[in-house]
Amino acid sequence: TFDHIESKASPTRSRGCPNNSTRDRPELESTRTREIERLKAIAAMPGKAADDAAGCSRCTFPLEKPVSDIRRNLLEWYDRHQRELPWRQGTSVDGQPIAAPSAHGTTNNTRAYAVWVSEVMLQQTQVATVVRFYTKWMSKWPTVAALAAASLEQVNEVWAGLGYYSRARRLHEGAVHVMEKLAGHIPQSMVELQKLPGIGPYTAAAIASIAFGEVTGLVDGNVIRVLTRLRAITAEVNSSSATAKHLWALSNRLIDPSRPGDFNQAVMELGATVCHPKKPLCHECPVRANCNAQNLAAQATESTTADNGCAMCAFDPDSPLDIESFPVKRAKKKSTEHCYVALVVESQNAFLMTQRQKGGLLAGMWEFPNLEISGESEVADGLRRAAATVGPSISDHAFHAHGTVEHVFSHRRHTYHVFSHRDERLSPCREASEADEGEAVRRWLTAAEIGQAAVPTNMKKVFRACTGEAPTKRATKRRKTKAANVMSISKYFKKEEQGS
């Protein structure tokens, strides 16, 4: 039941915002309604149900004091040590700063949008990398309306280099959905946020708690590491739905109802800056007194031994685990190997590019013509077939070899055998060509345009193999100077011909 909520509910507020009296009945009722919706959503969502999550007293938080201690100590630490990041400070839009969540748990649309963008970018990407891309993104599209009005091509161009390009496509789709279906209003609850394209439980919980003050926990990689160490959870975190349910239950148990957004960010901050995967800074941890992973030796001698019937925290005393053993993960599958012939074709200082299909890996991105082959033994035949796709008059013997380039995606390892050719007779068309059925759209780009276009990192590596330097976006005078000294493919061939 949800009968207990009214007695325990308190208005949500953020640090720096005035608290509201719990005697304010409309405010309390609003908080109660949101809490009921949240708990119903948790019960209904796979991998998040709290009531049926496994766990014993050793790997849960049955007592209130440890919970209150963790909340207090972690938030005090966060207030002193949080990093200054642009999505926390708010982004200025037309001179107006983004507001922090108010005492009523609401905020303006721009604040929610900023959190949404940052959380999507931070998935699978380091904070230091995201800061640069986030700043550029928000300066170009400071509101959800601005993003929705952009083309996917423009979005891919700004995202190029950040990786996992499907995130950009889903973010754009979500913005279009908000403008066309929701009159431009981003949903305020975790339940409704998950109805947007590309938003799952974690991103929905982050936006709802940080931007709107909804009292809901969240689970990401940093949170998993902190929680599994706090409770010494030995169950594999990447292969069991029961473990996922348990972690969501722990996160929702710990969430501070007065500062849910700050608390979620504090847990993630702890995982990112103190509770490292390797060599964690345990002496700096504000919740080390509540960390079971610190006391594994003592646990092994307690009456609740390894064989306590708990699927979450059972361990073998004869095979002790140290703190770096958490979280326990099933070994990843090896990346699949893929081999390609890639062609860099130049004519009149422009390079031939083709556009990938709209679905799948690197959807809609621009790349140099390439052809997948079964292995190194097929390079010669692959070059012949790839050359034929560029133009019937081009012989594979006209291409120069530049060795191989490797690029690793999350689940694939690509090896490119790189070849280049310069032919002034090709008369490149500067506009994207109409493609026949089954053929890729073609476009000719200069080196500078390649640096600006939606060209993925693997193709920039291919380009570097031919020129000795990657295309630059020439954002500063210093970069322009550097780019001016880069040898073009035309000069490369001239030098090669002179030396031969």
Residue 396 pLDDT class (50, 70, 90 cuts) = confident
Task: Tell me the chain's radius of gyration from C-alpha atoms.
Answer: 27
**47 pLDDT tier (thresholds 50, 70, 90):** very low
Pairing of strands 442-445, 400-408: unpaired
Average pLDDT score over residue span 120-128? 92
pTM above 0.85, yes or no: no
- In the structure encoding, which two tokens stand for residue 359, read together? 């679905």
Give which of 255, 205, 171 is closest to 38, Cα–Cα. 205
**Given a cut of 50, is residue 247 above it in pLDDT?**
yes
Q: Which of 234-238, 277-281, 387-391, 424-428 has the highest mean pLDDT?
A: 277-281
27, 35, 37, 119: which one is catalytic? 119
- Whether the per-residue pLDDT at 492 is higher than 60: the answer is no
- Asked which of 110-114, 419-423, 454-458, 486-490 is least confident by mean pLDDT, the reply is 486-490
Residue type, 12: T
Q: What is the pLDDT of residue 258?
A: 96
List, as own/partner pairs, every contact residues 427-436 make where C-beta atoms lie below 8 angstroms and the sequence separation is at least 24, other chains included.
427/347, 427/348, 428/347, 428/348, 428/350, 428/352, 430/350, 432/355
Name the more confident of 98 and 481: 98
The secondary element (H helix, E strand) that includes residue 111 is: helix 109-122
pLDDT (tens digit per residue) in 170-189: 999 999 999 999 999 999 99
C-alpha to C-alpha distances, 67 to 61, 304, 452, nearest whole angstrom: 7, 22, 50
DSSP secondary structure letter of residue 284: G
Give the pLDDT of residue 308. 63
Please say if 119 is a catalytic residue.
Answer: yes
Is residue 487's pLDDT more than 80?
no
Residue 494 has pLDDT above 90, yes or no: no
For 357-382, the pLDDT digits (tens) are 888 888 888 999 999 999 999 999 99
Check residue 30 and give its pLDDT: 52
